[in-house]
Amino acid sequence: MADISATVIATKVMQANLNHCAAAQDLLVASAARWMVDLIVIAEPYSIPPSAVSSRCSSAVILAPSRLPGTSFERLAAGEGWAAARWGELTVVSCYISPGHKRPVFERILGAIRSFVAQCRTPKILVLGDFNSKSVDWGCPEDSVRGRILRTWVEGSGLRVLNRGSEPTCVRAQGTSIVDVTFATPDVAATVSGWRVMDEETLSDHRYIAFDLRPPSSRVPPRHTHPSSSPRWALKRLDRDALRAAIAAAVWDPDADQDSCPDTESEAAALRDVATNISDACMPRTGAAPPNRRSVYWWSTEIEDLRNACLRARHRYAELRRPFQGGVAVGAGMSAETEMALRAEYRDAREALSGAIGKTKFRAWEEFILTLDQDP
């Protein structure tokens, strides 16, 4: 089995909740391929991908789309709302606990995971998922009953919270929350860098979480980083309104933890992500895709543009819905009509993106069938 130091260098991990949405799952697969993600942990998938490890009720999934040399991926256990897999020397647990579950069910699921973790012979354990629990320990303004229970469970299981800052992981019209949480044993926590909530359109109420795993002493750059992969943008097509909205969305959150990045390298990576997201939101990229970037068979420039348009609409809606920004009233005077118009704009953009994905996949599949018919 591969040594953990070799396994986790430049390993990219993504965490997502898809709300049982087909288009959201398609978009996640495309994003993971484009960003060359090695490990994906999913709550509420639309369907179970081939070779994935899933819970008994199929609400929690673990997928390793990129098989690193010498790294095994195998199912270890599965229960109600959780699944566990071995990935190299790392034990990964995916969990989803519905907000509709009563306290006894909530505690029973946590108890099963805790028993599994206690029986693991490795100190290298990663637990990720949507627990629908709120606690100040992972950035919420206050604790919920389930949050207090989960915090006690985390302490008793010997895990650490990896969440940083107070950026919402779930954004709905009714409000925002931080319910998607990442836990790890101390051995794994020491290898984590760049934990962040990504500013990307997901077609789900939940946002992607991403981070890297590598030894803390390693100075090796991420495996997928290449000098030629530095993006460039078409400055002449800059949307200044979208730029202002993207910057406002990025800098908002006066209560964010200013020391959330554990080292200079992680802080630089986080700043680079913010700058990239702002640029993507207000102008298209230019030039060919980097040679090491992958894409799914149905991805197109049209879908890329629709996703960027969706992100811009979300930024405009989010900016004006915030009553305060840095202590200054921003959206407090917004009329109900304006809010409804911005919400409708964002909804229409999401529907356009979702529809385009479905049509493009269908068209690509038909073209593939035609090539089979033509094959002698």
Q: Does pLDDT of 141 surpass 90?
A: yes
| Cα within 13 Å of Cα(102), Cβ side | 1
Give residue 89's identity as a one-letter amino acid code: E
> What's the rounded Cα separation, in Å, for the pair 195 and 187?
16
pLDDT of residue 168: 95
* Position 329 confidence tier, pLDDT thresholds 50, 70, 90: very low
Q: Does pLDDT of 75 surpass 70?
A: yes
Every domain of the chain with CATH number 3.60.10.10 lies at 4-213
* Position 68 confidence tier, pLDDT thresholds 50, 70, 90: low
Q: What pairing do the DSSP bridges indicate for beta strands 125-130 and 90-96?
A: parallel
Express each pLDDT in 174-212 by its tens digit: 889 999 999 999 999 999 999 999 999 999 999 999 999
> What's the rounded Cα separation, in Å, for the pair 30 and 68?
19
Of 281 and 51, the structure prediction assigns the larger pLDDT to 51
> What's the rounded Cα separation, in Å, for the pair 95 and 251?
31
**pTM: predicted TM-score of the whole model, two decimal places:** 0.76
**CATH for the stretch 4-213:** 3.60.10.10
The answer to whether 275 and 247 are in contact (CB under 8 A) is no
* Position 322 confidence tier, pLDDT thresholds 50, 70, 90: low
Express each pLDDT in 225-262 by its tens digit: 433 345 677 776 777 766 766 676 665 544 444 444 55
The DSSP symbol for 10 reads T
Q: What is the dihedral of CA 263, 214, 112, 71, to 10 degrees?
A: 170
Mean pLDDT of the chain: 82
**Helix spans in the chain (H):** 4-8, 22-34, 103-119, 145-156, 186-189, 240-251, 264-282, 301-321, 336-374
Express each pLDDT in 24-44 by its tens digit: 999 999 999 888 899 999 999
